[in-house]
Chains A and B, each alone.
Chain A
Amino acid sequence: MASIALDHVDKTYPNGHVAARDLNLVIGHGELLVLVGPSGSGKSTVLRLIAGLEGPTSGRILIDGEDVTAVPPERRDLAMVFQSYALYPHKSVRENLAFGLQVRKVPASDIRERVQRVAATLGIESFLDRKPAQLSGGQRQRVALGRAIVREPRAFLLDEPLSNLDPLLRVDTRTELVLLHRRLGATMVHVTHDQEEAMTLGTRVAVMRDGRLEQVGTPLEIFQRPVNVFVATFFGSPAMNLWRCRWTRTATGIHLASGGLAVDLAGAGGTGWNQDTVLAGVRPHDISLVPHGDAEAVGRVEVVEPLGATSVLHVRIGHGSARAIRVVVPADLAPVVNAEVAIRLRHDRVYLFDEPTGVAIMRS
């Protein structure tokens, strides 16, 4: 297994599109790193740069400390699972799995044995002699995974391998991927645009936007300590609520005010208090309904979205000015539409961001 490093990597396509800007990233031995970001953020480009299918405009790519920037993909010994699976349509499943081994001149008996073993692991033995066209989407996905595993490559590159599966199968396969990663102990780079997938899969998550790495960390770090508004709103579902607030210092901390919302927070350390206003963010799970006496804001329920165990309330505060606040409550406690509710924020889960830049203000 291998470690992969990007060293000041830039990629500008001939049409002028910048897909990677000064990327620096180290992916350790046996790590499952998830590259996540909205479409067009450059995450697939990063994968293709590591694979060698694209060359960087500048910068270096290292595998196990060795500079492979100029090494073509076929000699990097990495395996890739494509979003479209990209199975060889004219070869049977068995031949699909065997191709990479035949290319490496592995003896035929070894190939047979390894293909058999991987097929058994993935439960695809029963259709080894079928062609890809005769398989369902989920089966093709397994074959694509098997083709990568059977090679025992230095690292796996997975380009949105789950996005073509139906939701139920996707969740199952996600779990299998985690188990597979644990069993193989392999270095994996997994690209997805799905924040939930990123959170559940990754030992570390790298968030990308516009060709930049916004934040790299464990899923919980990213969820709990987002470095800016983009990361904060990208993770978590429903997305974080944001208010523009005026702030004033108080004896114990700061006071935030915005429309019908008034919050006193303890502690106002850190830096970044440059403007008169800040963006305050609270996740919908960190807001609770309270009796009117304890309220930090009072509003009217506009929409109730039942999700089963919980319901998402859209609460309008004040008179139609601000965006509605999303609040997640247990379904059996959900009020009816048009009810007046009082809400309170969890103070230790209030995030503050600098207004024009969106950079997080760390309060100690």
Chain B
Amino acid sequence: MIMSRTLRASGAAAGLSILLFPLYWMVISSVTPDARLFDAPTLIPRTVVLDHYRALFGGRDFWTPIRNSLIVAGATTGLSVGLGALCAYALARLQFRGRSLMLAFVLAISMFPQISIVSPLYLLLRELRLINTYPGLVLPYLTFAMPLTIWLLVGFFRQLPAEVEEAALMDGATRVRTLREIILPLAWPGLATTAILTFLYCWNEFLFALSFTLGPERHTVPVAIALFRGQYQVPWGEILAGAVVATVPVAVIVLIAQRRIIAGLTAGAVKG
């Protein structure tokens, strides 16, 4: 009994350490002086310096990419959840012709490999003079954020008891009022999960951000980090410090909301 419990615990510990080791290595490398980076590796850092972080925010102005990322990911999430909620409610509840076709279409769109739409989107955005602007990132981001949002929310809305909505209609509330006062408050865990997942996707997105921005004033965090690399040298320390800074907010959000996210990811799986 005790044996099996220790076995299980050590198994979990082993698995966890495999998962966490790269993160750990990222953190300790980010506080190791450049000169030591390629020495014989040690698990416990012998000297801890914050040079890389200082360089990140002093020398490079890492605040700009962070601000860009927050604006783009935040705006995309807001728009996506706001519009997606209306759309998902209609798809989940209202009777209209071609509903399942539309839902399948939404799914199909999210199946497009990003790389396949980069060129057409680039041309489109150039025509619209949106290259290197925030809308120029938010709009393309919606192409993958909206299908994700809609699919998750349709699942959540379908789980809500239809009779509660009907009760609100019978009470005299319009569809919009029912959505606002009854459905959205009830679907709040689903909305939060969806918002977090959408935010994460946007925060991590690289290809569109690289393709549709021109200068450092519009680069998002992943792009900025990737472009640290100069012609003759790769500033590993700063790259890793940047990675730590980019990971922390995400990790905090996920840890706070982990229960809801798990519920959100499995929602719709149980109920067909």
Contact = CB atoms under 8 A, between A and B. Distances in A.
B163 A100 contact: no
B86 interface: no
Contact of B182 (A51, A82, A88): A88
B163 A74 contact: no
9 contacts: A53-B170, A74-B170, A74-B172, A79-B171, A80-B166, A82-B166, A87-B164, A88-B182, A103-B173
Contacts of A135: none
B164 A53 contact: no
Interface in A69-99: 72-75, 77-80, 82-84, 86-90, 99
Contact of A99 (B163, B166, B168): B168
Contact of A88 (B164, B169, B172, B174): B164
Majority DSSP secondary structure for residues of B touching A = helix
A104 B168 CA distance: 12
B168 A80 contact: no
A147 interface: yes
B170 A79 contact: yes
Contacts of B161: 84, 86
Contacts of B170: 51, 53, 73-74, 78-80, 157
Given A89-B186, A90-B186, A103 B163 contact: no
Nearest to A95: B181
Number of chain B interface residues as a range: 10 to 19
Contacts of B60: none
Contact of B171 (A53, A84, A147, A157): A147
B167 interface: yes
Contacts of A53: 166, 169-170
Nearest to B178: A74
B172 A103 contact: yes
Nearest to A82: B163
A44 to B, nearest CB: 11
A151 interface: yes
Given A74-B169, A78-B170, A80-B170, A99 B181 contact: yes
B185 interface: yes
A151 B170 CA distance: 10
Given A99-B181, A103-B177, A86 B171 contact: no
Given A74-B174, A86-B167, 12 more contacts: A51-B170, A72-B169, A80-B166, A82-B163, A86-B161, A86-B163, A86-B166, A88-B164, A99-B173, A99-B181, A151-B171, A157-B170
Contacts of B164: 86-89
B166 A73 contact: yes
Residue of B161, B163, B182 most packed against chain A (CB within 10 A): B163
Contacts of B171: 74, 79, 99-100, 103, 147, 151
A90 B163 CA distance: 15
Interface string A141-168: 0000001000100000100000000000
